[in-house]
Amino acid sequence: MPHTSHRSYGWELPSVAPCVSLSGGVLTFSEPEQIIEDNEPGLKLAVILGGHLSLRFPDEEVVGVAGPAYHVTLSETPYRVQHRFGTAEPLQYVTVRMPLDTLANDLDLDPAWLSPRFGTRLGLSPAGLNQRANKAILALGRQMLSPPIPGPMRTFYLAGKALELTATVMAALTAQTGTVAASLRSSDVQRLNRARDIVLQRLQSPPTLPELARLAGLNVNKLSTGFRQAFGHSVYEFVRDQRLLLAHQMLAAGDISVAEAAHACGYTDSHFTKVFRKRYGIAPSLLR
């Protein structure tokens, strides 16, 4: 996470063996804020325990990440990412960063082996992936956010937990990739990525499943089953979550009414309030 004067609690370990840097904390903002972060080549894992943010890589669409979830990025070149933070709720996070040479030389984790887990190949940098965090990942993230061991052993504890957290995430991605690989070819994965991008571009009025399948070059069955395998959600669930995240961001920015947010995201007022409350636990009017 970027340095910010709005951190109400946090810590950083810029270098722990083997060449791993960690940070974590709770960020609160009195007004929406946008921060540009420059990153070195390597692996970056951010576990979002609570709250939400949006990310944007150069020449790509904005991607929302709402906790409990994790975002992991792999890049063989330096890259820049834009973060946007809202005001509705604190952002609780833990991040782990590992350089490419650490992955390959110290941890015996070949980046070329990792890249297919991101639905890409090394050289197409950066590659990012969002997933819902399971109980094991959340437990490790919470242990790192508030380490139970004080004093000199704290760094040792956090270094071990960082490696365990990264291994747990990589194992989850490997298991998921194995399931996808059993029924999806690389060309199918590319078409599914295209389908996801089309949905993100047309959130207000998304295409029907048959239309989306045609635009992506898939049949409806392959789109439906493959989308869930590749992204962990059905197309409908993905559209719903991205719409609600967009609405949350607009309302938190304070320059749009609830009715306008509902319309912009393709909802009627009454249905919007219901699904928004179910997703975030508060009425959308409370963000105004």
* pLDDT at residue 189 tops 90: no
**Which domains does the chain show, CATH number per domain?**
7-182 (2.60.120.10), 186-287 (1.10.10.60)
CA atoms within 13 A on the CB side of 20: 25
The Cβ of residue 256 has, within 10 Å, a number of other Cβ atoms equal to 18
pLDDT at position 15 is 59
pLDDT at position 35 is 92
pLDDT at position 122 is 47
Q: Which of 99-103, 159-163, 176-180 bottoms out in mean pLDDT, i.e. has the lowest?
A: 176-180
CA atoms within 13 A on the CB side of 159: 13
What are the CA-CA distances from residue 150 to residues 147, 153, 155, 158 (Å)?
7, 6, 9, 11
Q: Which of 11-25, 31-45, 125-139, 259-273 bottoms out in mean pLDDT, i.e. has the lowest?
A: 11-25
Q: What is the mean pLDDT of residues 190-214?
A: 88
Q: What is the per-residue pLDDT across 74-99, written as a single tens digit (0 to 9) for each?
A: 888 888 999 999 887 889 999 999 98
- 225 alpha-carbon distance from chain centroid: 22
Nearest to 139 by CA among 38, 68, 241: 68
Tokens of 149: 């061991």
Percent of the chain with pLDDT over 70: 82
Q: What is the per-residue pLDDT across 108-117, written as a single tens digit (0 to 9) for each?
A: 777 666 766 6
Q: Looking at per-residue confidence, does 138 or 128 come out higher?
A: 138
CA angle, 192 as apex, 174 and 241 as ends, to 5°? 85
196 contacts 241 by C-beta, under 8 angstroms: no
* pLDDT at residue 208 tops 90: yes
Q: Report pTM.
A: 0.59
- Name the most confidently modeled range: 148-162, 181-195, 230-244, 259-273: 148-162
Place of tokens 């998304």: 206
Strands (E), 147-241: none
